[in-house]
Amino acid sequence: MATIAIAAPHPAGIEAARQMAAEGGGVVDAALAAAAALTVAYPHQCSIGGDLVALVRDGARGIVRAVVSAGAAAAAADPAPLRAAGDRMPAGGPHTVTVPGVVAGWAELARLGARLPLARALAPARALAEDGVAVSAGLARAIRNRLDVVRADPGLSALLLDKAGEPLPAGATLLQPALAATLAELSEDWRHFYTGPTARRLVAVLRARGSLLDMADFAAHRAENTTPLSTTRDGVTWWVAPPPSQGAALLAVLGRKSDPLTAARQAELSRDALLGDPRSGGIDIDGLLLREQRDTAALPSGPKPSGDTVAVTAVDDEGNAVTLIQSVFQSFGSGIAHPATGVVLHNRGSAFSLDPAHPGALRPGARPPHTLCPALATGPGRVVALGCQGGRAQAWILSQVADALLDAPDPEALLARPRWVIGSRDLNRPGPTLVLEPGVPDSDGLIAVADGLGLAVAEVPGPHDEAGHVQMARLRGGVLDAASDPRADGTAVVLTGAAP
């Protein structure tokens, strides 16, 4: 009988996980069901039209693997017309859509450790799409904040506006019959998303809007099962996904002896200058980890788009663990929802650089630099799974809670503490800025450091989405617990399931 601690940013994810536990599913099944349900309940932050990065721990063998299912640009991608139109990638639209990786990522996670067929993990999400889910406060906020994008797209308008053309309010029922039909199709064979009818429908709508993606690009996608990056301090090993994930930035901050804000700023500058796709060229890992200093001012810097994600974390009583993040990047991604499939398509390609000298430059078949940054910690008597919503700020958000969560007696209270983040356009700020929630410890000291780093300072009036939505699950001294950030709509539970 498996006992599973799990956290997710929406109750629908937890309910889906509960169903898997009741059917004898393990930690991977619970995480997959939660992730699938979130694509229905949280279409502003994740979708089967987005990407996925995850870490999986096999408790019996103590092995951690990274699953990087980040989609690539078209093999026919040509940056020249985009360069002619401006100095950076567009924020949305068809040219920002890369091959979505979520579905292949789910399949690889299932292969690594699921006890139940993938179709079972998709069943709660399918029912949620058919029967409807209440619009959460977070989704209602996102519709209002991006109302111009919603109204400009027929698919998003049909999904998110009422008959009078007004935004669905919190508590309204969100029905997604087209998405339910797509999930039913993928339950028969997930490969339909890449080589079957779902792929054909998505490619048709994308090419009609000017995208260069074709069926061969979709068919070529594979979820990468690879070795994570790691570092060990004080007997605890921290694990993150390798590039094109920004996981190295988290290890860089955790490993620095300088003050946390200076470390974060150094890691941010290095990431912006050095992160790209190792499949498309060499990546300077030592520079990303701040093991060696680089003159980042002399290097081209990548774009700074904003991002939205969801994290699911789960750990069981045998030390098996999953931390996954899936995303459409900006709220509602590219601003394109395909009415016939119900798929909201991400805008992950907006993170490409148009500078050919940048390691994250748009190239045929390249994957863009990725903000998704799940993390695991393992040590004597401890397994901690961490992840957060927070776009490019994920590394600094997690760094403020990571060490404390190894032993915090009240993890929920820890996640509720005020935090700070740094960023610029990704935080809707005109330039590099330190953003402080009220009551951040030693805020005066942080402000003084920010002045020395050339960062503007902005204070928000209360807990804010920009400070991230952290999800945590852990096994500590044989005891399971989990916590969900109060900035989100989510919850955390410990589930006792049926015998497998």
The active-site residue, picked from 98, 182, 198, 309, is: 309
Partners of 308 in the β-ladder: 329
Q: Which residue from 64, 185, 178 is spatially nearest to 122, judged by alpha carbons? A: 185
Q: How far apart are CA 222 and CA 224, in angstroms?
A: 6
Residue count (the chain): 500
Q: What's residue 298's pLDDT?
A: 66
Q: What's residue 264's pLDDT?
A: 94
- The ranges assigned to domains in the chain are 3-228+303-419+468-496
State the first-to-last Cα distance of the chain, in angstroms, to the nearest integer.
6
How many CB atoms are located within 10 Å of the residue 181 CB?
Answer: 17
Q: How far apart are CA 59 and CA 160, in angstroms?
A: 42
Percentage of residues of the chain with pLDDT beyond 70: 97
Q: Cα dist. 290→258, 278, 400, 434 in Å?
A: 12, 18, 18, 21
Q: What's residue 304's pLDDT?
A: 55
Provide the H-helix boundaries in 225-367.
247-254, 260-274, 285-288
CA dihedral 164, 166, 168, 174 (to 10 degrees): 50
- Give the CA angle between residues 10, 34, 48 to the nearest 5°: 100
As a whole number, the mean pLDDT across the chain is 93
Q: Which residue from 398, 371, 395 is spatially nearest to 384, judged by alpha carbons? A: 398
Please confirm, yes or no, whether 309 is among the known catalytic residues.
yes
More confident residue, 427 or 375: 375
Per-residue pLDDT tens digits for 279-302: 998 899 999 999 988 877 766 666
Per-residue pLDDT tens digits for 432-474: 999 999 999 888 899 999 999 999 999 999 888 888 899 999 9
Q: What's residue 81's pLDDT?
A: 94
Partners of 479 in the β-ladder: 476
Contacts of 474 (CB under 8 A, 6+ apart): 5, 315, 382, 383, 384, 385, 405, 411, 480, 481, 482
Q: How far apart are CA 193 and CA 222, in angstroms?
A: 12
Give me the mean pLDDT over the 253-278 stretch. 91
Beta-sheet pairing, 343-345 with 375-379: unpaired
CA dihedral 366, 205, 125, 369 (to 10 degrees): 20
How is residue 462 annotated by DSSP? S
Q: How far apart are CA 325 and CA 347, in angstroms?
A: 16
Q: Which two tokens stand for residue 278?
A: 């190792």
Q: Which residue from 36, 3, 76 is spatially nearest to 314, judged by alpha carbons? A: 3
Q: Which two tokens stand for residue 402?
A: 């990571």
Asked if pLDDT for residue 160 goes beyond 80, the answer is yes
Give me the mean pLDDT over the 409-424 stretch. 94
Q: What's the pLDDT band for 427 if we cut at 50, 70, 90? A: confident
Q: Cα dist. 366→70, 88, 145 in Å?
A: 10, 17, 31
Q: Which residue from 390, 396, 412 is spatially nearest to 472, judged by alpha carbons? A: 412
Q: Which residue from 202, 220, 430 is spatially nearest to 333, judged by alpha carbons? A: 202
Q: What's the pLDDT band for 155 if we cut at 50, 70, 90? A: very high
Sign of the CA dihedral with 8 first, then 14, 16, and 20 last: positive
Asked if pLDDT for residue 499 goes beyond 60, the answer is no
CATH 3.40.50.720, applies to 3-228+303-419+468-496 = no
Per-residue pLDDT tens digits for 115-141: 999 999 999 999 999 999 999 988 999
Provide the H-helix boundaries in 48-100.
80-85
Q: Which two tokens stand for residue 437?
A: 């929630």
Q: How far apart are CA 57 and CA 374, in angstroms?
A: 13
Q: What's residue 303's pLDDT?
A: 58
Place of tokens 């991230």: 468
Q: Cα dist. 155→116, 163, 343 in Å?
A: 33, 14, 9
Asked if pLDDT for residue 307 goes beyond 60, the answer is no
Q: What's residue 250's pLDDT?
A: 96
Cis peptide leading into 169, omega within 30 of 0? no
Q: What's residue 244's pLDDT?
A: 97
- Phi, psi at residue 316, to the nearest 5°? -110, 180
Binning the chain into helix, strand and coil, the percentages to the nearest 5 are 35, 25, 40
